Structure formats: C-alpha cells, structure tokens
Amino acid sequence: MFKYFTADTNNQEDYAFANGRIRKLENGLLNKDILDRMIKSNDIVSALKILTESDLNDYSFDLNNPSDFEDSLNQELLQTYDLIKSISKVSTFNFLYFTFASKYDFHNIKILIKSKYLKKEFSSELISPIGTLNVEKLNSAIKDEKYEDIPASFEVLIKKTLTEYNKFKDPEIIDFVLDKERYVMIFNKIRETEIIEEEEPYLRRFIKINIDLNNIINCIRAKIRGEKKTFTKEFLIPEGDFKIENLIEVYDSPLSSWFEKLRYTDYKNIIELGVNYFQKNNSLMELEKLIDNFILNFSKIGKYITFGIEPIVGFITAKENDIKNIRIILSGKLNNLSPDEIIERVRDTYV
C-alpha cells in the first residue's frame, strides 16, 4: 500500500517551515538502544535515569517519586501537541490537530460517562489534558446534561451515547458507540474541508487504516463477548477501506478461521497472530500491539517526504508511541515484570 504515496504526492511549500521543525524534533524520538537499556535496567529509577540522561532531555521525572511518572508523560505529550498546533497555519494542519487531539476528548467523555453511571467521582489521573474541550465544561454537560458550553456536535454524540447505554445497561456499549462517533465526526469534517477531500490522499488513507483496525478489534471483542451479528454491525464504522460486510460475512464462523477467510486483506497477519495469542492466553494484548505497530509502520513514510502532511502525521504517531513504550516499561518495572515480559508488550520504534 505504501507505493501510492511518494515525494510527489505533496510538494506544497506551505509545509516547508513546519517540516523543517519536525526534522529537528525527530532527533528527540526514542531509539531502540535506549528502550533496550531501559528494559534491561534493574528497577524503575534506573530506567528513568537512562531516559533522562540520554540526549532526549525533554523528559523530566521526579526520581524521588518514580511511581508518579504519569504527570510527566502527560506534560510531555501536551507540549508536543501545543508545538504542533503552533508551527503552521496550513488549513490541513488544523484538521490534523483535531483528528489527533479529539481522541483525548473522546477518552475523557468515556471516563466521565462511566463515572456518571457507576456513581463514582472520576479520578483526575484518568483524565487527559490534551483534548480540545475544557474538561470541567465537558463534565458539566455529561453530569448535569447542560450542553450550552460545548459544541453542538459533541452534544449530539453524548446524548446518543447516553441513550444507547440506557438501552443496554452495559458500560462497554459506551466504548463501542464513542469509537464509532469519533470517526463519524472526523469524516463529517473531511466533507466540510475541500482541500483534505481532494489533496490529502495520505491523510485519508491513514484515517481509513485506523478505522479498519478499530472495526477489526471491536468485532473480535464483540465475538468474544458472544454478541449477535446484528448488534455488532450497528457499531462498525462504514468509512474504512475494508468493507464491514467482509467482517459480518465471517462473523458467525469460529474466530480461529477468520484470518483464512480474510487472507487477501492487508490485515491477515494481524488477525491470525492476534487471535492465536488470544486463544492461548485469553488476552488481546498481542492484537493491540500488532495494530499499533501496523499504524506506526505506515506512518514511517513521513521520514521520506520533503513537503507534505506525512512528516507531521509520522511525528505525532511516533511521539505517542514513545510515550506508550515508556509507560509500558515503567509500569512493568513497578510491577516487577521480567525483561522478557516487558519486551512482549513494547511496540516498535519510529527511528
């Protein structure tokens, strides 16, 4: 699939300044050597020292309280998003920023809705500061159903989620609905933005890959839960390249046979290896890792494009992947996991 995107795909000079900044920022991404040394370190303090004493000096942690690393990771990611937002006024960048940052709005909405129905005060540690919406206003909209301080598009999807939850009384329904509604919102914005519709095939393909993989993992989760095909189809996202009819067609077959029935797709290996791991370990951990690696590897084309949206997509994806890898390693150290157990969880690197 990568052959469709070359240096000629995007050559707009509007991207020159932003792409130049991205090339410098790429020098601060994690490499495999640093990750390997962190994984092999004796404890969490040793792992943090390897990270903070490397050339990647943007990371800052309190070595006296090593378990409080989440705030530092959130701040690092927040600074990355603020920088991306500031480096260019190209209209496509505004859409790109929304595409990535809105993920955290939807994460926050999930947390707040579940808190509302489980009658538990939400933990601030679970809330992301990166989203496009003010968390207090968002909480007020969900808790008190007062929507005047949030965009109408978010009001609609929150009301729909509340309705679906009340119908099924199952917290997982919240995830199914919001995963779909996020991409519905993104594609509504694509249709409103002519330049993205006509001139950004790479960005559209990147989003469609995310949709395809979201549909696959949610379909597998629904199959494991024993949901009926009609239920599952309702929450699949139609805007991907991978036809949801293909998933619905194989849905009633044993999970172990799905990869064979879908062998002519780009996602055959993900399904085969992810399902095999689940059947042996009763965990979707490997499937989640394979999905992350697929998206990361697709985004690596950004390293070879001089002018265009690709380097920005690649850098944001890489930075989020770095944060995830650091979190996996530090959490593993806190929970006394062996290096082999941590390696099993760690994703690929961008550089």
pLDDT tens profile 58-100: 788 888 888 889 888 988 999 999 888 887 666 677 888 889 9
| Ranges of the chain with pLDDT below 70 | 1-14, 57, 88-91, 122, 194-199
What is the distance of C-alpha 41 from the center of its chain? 28
Query: CA-to-CA distance for 303 and 109, rounded, in angstroms?
Result: 34
Query: CA-to-CA distance for 187 and 73, rounded, in angstroms?
Result: 30
- Residue 64, SS3 per DSSP: coil
Query: CA-to-CA distance for 267 and 32, rounded, in angstroms?
Result: 25
Please, are residues 132 and 185 in contact by the beta-carbon 8 Å criterion?
no
CATH code assigned to 92-192: 1.20.1690
pTM as predicted: 0.91
pLDDT tens profile 192-221: 776 555 557 888 899 999 999 999 999 999
- Burial class of 148 by CB neighbour count within 10 A (0 to 12, 13 to 18, 19+): exposed
Domain coordinates in residue numbering, the chain: 92-192
